[in-house]
Amino acid sequence: MSLLNLIAMASFAFVTSVTPGPNNLLLLASGANFGFRRTLPHIFGISVGMALLLTCVLGGLGELFSRFPLLQVLLRIAGVGYLLWLSWKILQTPPRGEQADIDRGRPFAWWQAVIFQFINPKAWIMAITAVSSFTLAGEAYWTSGLALVLVFAVVNLPAISAWAGFGTLMQRFLSTAARQLHFNRAMATLTALTVVMLVQQ
């Protein structure tokens, strides 16, 4: 693996990880509603899930979409349905202090975030594009593939953490129940709007 190839991997991983998408919008909402510390399992779950997804694509799982196009349609339907459900959950989150935390809901568990990557169409696009663009042919395939997984793990974690951190900083602004409700409505709407992008792909 050349240094140039590693830099290209890191650049791709950073740009695709830090740009808006379902994961980052959910982290922003979680940071604002639950704080950074309680969002940490969600953050680590995304990174672990992305590493597992990349490994599965390296092993040939992505080829199933080429052989069985219906699987891609089913994945998209599952992703759209889940995102709409998450939008509804965000919309229903009451302001802090209005109810006990157990009634307000709770942030993603790490395993929920891991599973979500496998029905998140953006994660699939990232994984398939990365594997097809940055792995080397022949005997270097798995070496370059494992390097890709490692680079993604290193770059993805701080990139997505920034969204949760920004959400946590917004807690100062979200000091009233009205502002919290408006914020959750905005996050629910933006999360739902990602469905439009997924349907058009």
For 59-116, how does the pLDDT look when each residue is reduced to its tens digit (9 = 90+)?
A: 988 777 777 778 777 877 887 888 888 888 888 877 766 544 444 568 899 999 999 9
H helices of the chain, in order, are: 3-18, 22-34, 36-58, 63-67, 69-91, 101-104, 110-117, 121-134, 141-169, 177-200
**Percentage of the chain exceeding pLDDT 90:** 48
Residue with tokens 């593939």: 145
Asked if residue 21 has pLDDT above 80, the reply is: yes
pTM of the model: 0.84
Residue 118 has pLDDT above 70, yes or no: yes
> Which band of pLDDT confidence, cut at 50, 70 and 90, is reported for residue 17?
very high
Question: What is the predicted pLDDT for the residue at 52?
Answer: 97
6-30 CB burial, b ≥16 within 10 A, e <16: beebeebbbebbbeebbbbbbbbbb
- Contact criterion met (CB below 8 Å) for 77 and 93: no
Is the pLDDT at 57 greater than 60, yes or no? yes
197 has pLDDT over 70: no
On the CB side of 85, CA atoms within 13 Å amount to 7
SS3 99: strand
pLDDT value, residue 185: 86
The structural domain count of the chain equals 1
CA distance 136 to 143: 8
pLDDT(56) > 90: yes
Side-chain-side CA neighbours of 31 within 13 Å: the count stands at 22
Alpha carbons 196 and 201: distance in angstroms, whole number:
9
CB 39: neighbour CB atoms within 10 A?
27
Lowest-pLDDT choice from 65-69, 85-89, 121-125, 149-153: 65-69
Range(s) of the domain holding residue 39: 3-200
For the residues 163-191, what does the mean pLDDT come to?
A: 87
Q: How far apart are CA 39 and CA 160, in angstroms?
A: 11
Q: 3-state class of 96 per DSSP?
A: strand
Q: What is the pLDDT confidence band of residue 152, given thresholds at 50, 70 and 90?
A: very high
The answer on pLDDT for 198 being more than 70 is no
State the average pLDDT over residues 131-137: 91
